Structure 1
Amino acid sequence: MTATALVAAAALTTACSGSSGAAKVPGAPAAAGSSTDADRAVEKIIAAEMPAAASLIPPGSTAAAIKKRGTLSVGGTQTSALFSLLNPTTGKVEGFDAALSQLLAKYIIGKPRTRLTNVTSATREALLKNHSVDAVFSTYTITPERARTVAFAGPYYTDGLALQVRKNDTSIRSLSGLEGRTVVTESGSTAATVLSRKVPTAKIQLFDTNTECLEALRQGRADAYILDQGILAGNASSNPDVEVLPGTYSSEPYGIGLPRDEPDFKKFVNAWLLKIEADGTWAKVWKETVGTQVPGDAPTPPAIG
């Protein structure tokens, strides 16, 4: 998202959405039935992507190895609306991150061939380090600590941490309402660190996935859920018993996670990001995913590097 509070959801290879029309949080998925049209539009955008010139993929490069293999191995998720969510009707993963991963595959291979490995906030670094995946597209916030073990391309988007509560609970309206309360978030995310600093008395419970955190909140095992606003908004769009409170409490720049021992690939992916931003492809994908719920023109992408 942009540094203002925008959007909804998390990451993989092709994500989808269904919605409750009552959701007013920016970034909530589009109404039921409209995701098909948006997905078709994204497919057209991907089909229009031209493969990289041979001179940009020299022999011995990481991109050349991926091209020879014929598949881009992507770390991501299937549980985050607008960014990377499995559409049970089509069997595809749809959304902003999913589309970007397919665009990168098309640019390298000539076809949008990706192979998904499901990741969590706690497993991303290990999968990159042992080369189980080529890249992680998973609403992956760039931090100095992570940058010591991961090479990040980007950032390509900026979001912010927000709060989700049950609609029938009016006792929490901001961070101050979390004192002494039980709050869930994903293990390995930046949210736990931010919350412990801002509300030291909050009782933090960690789960591996967004789905587990959401269910803990809905079932009353937690009083609130803190994570990126976009992901929470995606939850609210299809679960009318929860809501996202106004305001964000951090800036979360999203990067594409890459292995640190492949500096040539980071340079290649950053150049590709600059290309799709300059030629309007980035904005078109945003409009058909995140932009289905955020009015107005596409935001200006954050400065790469």
Structure 2
Amino acid sequence: MRTRRLLTAACVPAALALTLTACGGGPAALPSASGPSSAEGSPASGDSYQQVLDAAPVAAASRIPSGSLMATIKKRGTLVVGGTDTAALFSLKDPVTGKLTGFDAGLAAMLAKYITGSTKTKLVQVDVATREQLLRNGTVDTVFATYSITPERAKKVDFAGPYYSSGNAILTKKGDTAITSVRDLNGKNVCAQSGSTAAGNIKDFAPKANVLLFDGNSQCVQAVQQGRADAYVNDQALLVGVQYRDSSVQVVGKPFTTDPYGIGVPKQDPEMKEFVDAWLKTIETDGLWAKLWKATLGTAVTGAAPKPPVIGSAEGS
């Protein structure tokens, strides 16, 4: 049975109280994929994206035992990451340089450095339908893809973390006032990605909604833009990234679920989960997690960096 994760006042992380700093007018400039904008690197906003990566630690040799997946990655010199290159603020590719930046991309680069001494990663595109398969068959070493932890998914793969917490929210056309909360989705055409937790949550919270399923994020955004869907439901953090890039859409209401994001690792290599959890604790304790948040998500939302969720606190982690 799928676990409903209701959002309560006690579990709302600061990151979910998002107020865009780039609202109105035209779309705001995106963080450069070759590094942050000058505003991101200014003293007022903290360390730049590249400075955070430069400060990332490297694991002691004793932390990487012979025969482990980490040893294989270290010998290869590259961390193979399942992810995306189209998620603003999380993992976005610069069309000129080909470099990735964002919260997920930065974490992946930092984990690569922890294992190999270099931030070099190789991206393999994944979607909701392929993440578990690519981890299980060894195509990728790990998945950084705003990957919600669920008990069902944890039967197939292991999750390190959680490393971030978001929640389902609603995207509509800019200026649409007919939808302001999840209850308003009843009787509306609502898009969600196939296989996502959002698809089931819509039915739980708005049982009279007509759910339209598409494979990818861009297809759902286009459906809203073209009027084929009245709304698109996904994790608020992702939808904020869409709004950050496109002033024709808006995120409305408050999150109506809570979704802990995990780092997917192969279940057949259990030592990898323990290793990644220990690395997460290290970068959270030394402040690098918060600095990366400020250099990525913090360029689009107001306030201090949120406190990261407790590692192992999500069912399935």
Give the C-alpha shift of residue 128 in structure 1: 0.7
Contact 2:174–2:249 under 8 Å retained in 1: yes
Residues paired across the two proteins, number = 291
The SS at the match of 2:119 is coil
State the TM-score, normalized to the length of structure 2: 0.86
- Aligned equivalents of 1:255, 1:20: Cα separation in 2: 27
1:23–1:96: structure 2 CA closer, same or farther, 3 Å change rule? farther
- Distance in 2 (alpha carbons) for counterparts of 1:59 and 1:143: 31
Give the aligned partner of residue 36 of structure 1.
Answer: 37
1:134-188 deviation digits (Å, cap 9, x = unpaired): 0000000001111111100000000011011112432222122211211111112
Q: Which amino acid in the other structure matches residue 64 of structure 1?
A: A
Tell me by how many angstroms 1:119 deviates.
Answer: 0.6
Matching residue of 1:3: 13
Once the two structures are TM-superposed, the CA of residue 105 in structure 1 deviates from its matched residue by 0.3
Structure 2 counterparts to residues 126-141 of structure 1, below 5 A: 126-141=133-148
Is contact 1:20–1:31 with CA below 8 Å preserved after alignment?
no
Who is 1:103 aligned against? Answer: 110
- The code of the aligned residue for 2:156 comes to T
Q: For 2:71, which of 64, 67, 76 is the aligned residue?
A: 64
| Distance in 2 separating the partners of 1:86 and 1:7 | 24
Provide the rounded CA distance (Å) in 2 between the counterparts of 1:22 and 1:300: 25
- What is the CA deviation profile of residues 113-134 of structure 1, one whole-angstrom value per residue up to 9, with x for unaligned ones? 1000011111111111111100
1:210 aligned partner, one-letter code = N
Q: 1:33 to 1:45 in 2, by over 3 A?
A: closer
Are the structure 2 counterparts of residues 113 and 83 from structure 1 closer, same or farther at C-alpha, using a change threshold of 3 Å? same
Q: Is the 8 A contact 2:135 2:142 kept in 1?
A: yes
Distance 1:59 1:240 in 2: 51
Seen in structure 2, the aligned counterparts of structure 1 residues 208 and 42 have a Cα distance that, compared at 3 Å, is same
Alignment of 1:1-305 (within 5 A): 3-4=13-14, 5-6=16-17, 21-22=22-23, 31-32=29-30, 35-37=36-38, 38=40, 41-305=48-312
Match of 1:11?
A: none
Unaligned runs of 5+ in 2: 1-10, 42-46, 313-317
SS in structure 1 at match of 2:308:
coil
Judge conservation of contact 1:7–1:231 (CA < 8 Å) in 2: no
Where 2:62 maps in the other structure, the secondary structure is helix
> Is the CA contact (8 Å cut-off) linking 2:21 and 2:301 kept in structure 1?
no
Stretch moving more, 89-98 or 126-135: 89-98
CA contact (8 A) 2:13 2:306 kept: no
Which residue type is aligned with residue 144 of structure 2? F
TM-superposed CA distance for 1:192, in Å, is 0.5
Letter in 1 for 2:128: S
Of 134-143 and 206-215, the range deviating more from structure 2: 206-215
SS at match of 1:60: coil
Identity of aligned residues (%): 50
Cα 1:30–1:205 shift into 2, 3 Å: same
Q: Secondary structure at the match of 1:36?
A: coil
One-letter identity of the residue aligned with 1:109: T
Mind listing any 5+ residue stretches in structure 1 that lack a counterpart? Answer: 9-18
Question: What's the secondary structure of 1:43's corresponding residue?
Answer: helix
Q: Quick one: which amino acid aligns to residue 151 of structure 1? A: D
Indicate conservation of the 8 Å contact 1:2/1:300, yes or no: no
Q: Displacement, 1:92?
A: 1.3
Q: Kindly indicate whether the alpha-carbon contact (under 8 Å) linking 1:3 and 1:251 is maintained by their aligned counterparts in 2.
A: no
Counterpart CA distance in 1 for 2:179 and 2:107 is 36
Q: CA contact under 8 A between 2:22 and 2:300: conserved in structure 1?
A: no
